[in-house]
Structure 1
């Protein structure tokens, strides 16, 4: 890298857990980061699922380099054995970390394009000698170009949920029925949200932890609001693994969540429809009718919750050269390791700069975005990703290639969900620091999915 480029900052897109960890690792390596966050605060996406209790305990969601950066501020890590909610994670870790980074983090700054200075994606001549140009829109309406030595995209996938349509496209009528469709697990602690689903038939589309959470939440609501019923729509059939590992799951929170979803079906609070791939949404007065590809339809519902995963937003990266798998939209070297047909997040081998490099040298996708459409992600994996990248940018190839992470035999995927707060936590109004309690799914702790 030429000298003028080397003194430029490395731009990090997104002030979530992996983006802020990227900045901490860059500082540890003597590289100046500039974190650009579209939202108004650290962990803006995490705050949108603040009611989630993670599968991961605190010990697994705090980055080591970030902890070192926080230590001089007097910050202490919450009890490593307890499970934070998304709100805890943002309040007790992400925001203090952003505060410690100071003016290296800019909020209200949305990245709209990344390119090489003076080079579109077609031009070869002198390409790698040019710095990156990052186009941004600021909250005050102004536009700006920022020049960078490298770009680490940790913007996640939260803003681009999968659609209702079974073919990966919006179902016919999906957009016009948007007032009755949600793409997040509702927080039924919110009175207005609770009233939206109470006493109504709600279709839940999806087969992962988010769907489990929605089913368990609606089942709890049904106990207080007669007439509440969930119609669980699966694109495939029910098998022995549909509800996860249950009591055999090495992650008790995840196993218990699947058991709660199973109990919701067995208790009659939810009914399952298998092999149904939606192609259209039709209005029937104040209700919606879902129509399958073969023309068959289901009984009308009042609400629809679509939990079909997320996908990366690649629109602002159209002028850089990315090497992406044609199925997952993940880096080509990483994709075989995270193929959801083969792996859970616990069986993914730790990986770093080698698997995350693209034809565009100095451009990296990390965190949830690096997984493309793969549905699982582990925070510890993301922290290892950015440790390796920071080492590579500093020229320490040996450290970049070294694996410094040992994953649990069963990984921690998505949001946990529904186990109750310890009574002591409730009394203190906290939730991050009390002694761990038995994991008990359901009853008063509705949640949605988050990549943890």
Structure 2
């Protein structure tokens, strides 16, 4: 790849391709009305770009609503996109307390729903995308490809055209399997397996009260579910992890640079030490058998040694993976390991990076050989569990600038992520004291603080929300 004074020749071709073509009069389609999708809409609105947001659910941020009972690690000051804030404040909106750790429900009620209302009918609910292609072009045909619109087919059969696509559809509908090798455990599909963050103390309480529950996973979603189960006096709890110890999940306790994460681990360790939670280490889920209402999960580790546990309920808090099938007729350059773009992969590799060490990145790292298509937000990270909302906001700021032809702004990517400030609130202790006020709990304070969890991180070991 030859260099030029302003970057590589490939980058110059990208600039020409994104902004050219007869499709220029069409809107930009944003897939997903979650935090990152609506942030993309805000940046498009500020730049005067016509757009349409397609949300598969029947409400804004439908995936967030599924974990609306959970409180996140990152305070409000890191959860609000800059362009969204400007639009909202111009409409008379007042931002929540900057240091408050919101629940998923509060994210929707106090931020995402008011933001979507600003866009009116440019946000379509119940509009699930089933496929994206180029009008009259399959993946093989090349000449003139960049000059024709994107064709977006909805599950209803309706078809739309767009000049660019910003795919912020997330990965919440693609949970990882229970099986330890990335394959479903034998018999897994024959049993009722719940995935991360059930509402154990609320809507799902009857499913767990008085039952023996197995939680599989070593990340913060698993820890959150375990702590909630521990509040059910008559619940029996078993926790299974592949590692030889739970040290990574426990974190540094009082010495943890992230107070909320440290508190989460400290409470979890106390329950394990007391015997309230039974911990199984070196557990590699291999098969599941059933006997009436109970299921037995059998582990087979790499040496062939086995162990088993018989339970009433199973929660697989094992993370998520992206589904790129809707873009199968587009030309994607995906990293073979993570499923992100090839250029982004080394920057987010969870073997080398935590959330706070992922460098700023934008349109260049998110671009595919298909000009004008960008997967952003947690979907852009593939199977890496290091995603932050703040990172997604910078992604869409850069991508929208490129779509608008402002390449100087598109490539001026900046992200200030002090690890001790983004992954948790420095006011975690005060937060726990005030949590009753935020959740509407009668009597003021909760006897046991609500668990905290990451946003968008898979349970392979994500750190931040």
Q: Deviations over 1:153-189 (max 9, x none)?
A: 00001111111011212211111112xx211222122
Match of 1:146, SS state, is strand
Aligned to 1:332: 342
Aligned to 2:455: 450
Within-5 A mapping of 1:17-166? 17-137=35-155, 142-166=156-180
Match of 1:445, SS state, is coil
Within-5 A mapping of 1:311-350? 311-350=321-360
CA deviation after TM superposition for structure 1 residue 405, in Å = 2.1
Contact 1:216 1:442 in 2 (8 A): no
Measure, in 2, the Cα distance between the counterparts of 1:39 and 1:308. Answer: 23
TM-score (norm 2): 0.87
Measure, in 2, the Cα distance between the counterparts of 1:413 and 1:169. Answer: 31
Measure, in 2, the Cα distance between the counterparts of 1:114 and 1:218. Answer: 41
Measure, in 2, the Cα distance between the counterparts of 1:422 and 1:161. Answer: 30
1:202 to 209, 213, 219: 213
Aligned to 1:434: none
Within-5 A mapping of 1:297-312? 297-312=307-322
CA deviation after TM superposition for structure 1 residue 2, in Å = 4.0
Aligned to 1:255: 262
Q: Deviations over 1:103-154 (max 9, x none)?
A: 11111100000011111111111111111111113xxxx4211111110100
Structure 2 unaligned spans of 5+: 1-18, 457-464
Aligned to 2:275: 268
Measure, in 1, the Cα distance between the counterparts of 2:208 and 2:353. Answer: 35
1:219 to 222, 225, 230: 230
Match of 2:45, SS state, is helix
Structure 1 unaligned spans of 5+: 432-436
Match of 1:299, SS state, is strand
CA deviation after TM superposition for structure 1 residue 414, in Å = 10
Judged with a 3 Å threshold, the aligned counterparts in structure 2 of structure 1 residues 318 and 442 are, in CA distance, closer, same or farther, namely: farther
1:368 to 378, 389, 393: 378
CA deviation after TM superposition for structure 1 residue 92, in Å = 0.7
Measure, in 2, the Cα distance between the counterparts of 1:376 and 1:442. Answer: 31
Matched, 1:189 2:201: yes
Aligned to 1:233: 240
Match of 1:236, SS state, is coil
Judged with a 3 Å threshold, the aligned counterparts in structure 2 of structure 1 residues 89 and 419 are, in CA distance, closer, same or farther, namely: farther
Judged with a 3 Å threshold, the aligned counterparts in structure 2 of structure 1 residues 90 and 382 are, in CA distance, closer, same or farther, namely: same
Contact 2:213 2:315 in 1 (8 A): yes
Match of 2:178, SS state, is coil
Within-5 A mapping of 1:409-428? 409-410=419-420, 412=422, 426=436
Q: Deviations over 1:304-359 (max 9, x none)?
A: 11011001111111001111111111111111111111111111011111111111
CA deviation after TM superposition for structure 1 residue 402, in Å = 0.7
> Is the deviation greater in 404-413 or in 317-326?
404-413
Judged with a 3 Å threshold, the aligned counterparts in structure 2 of structure 1 residues 419 and 376 are, in CA distance, closer, same or farther, namely: farther
Match of 2:306, SS state, is coil
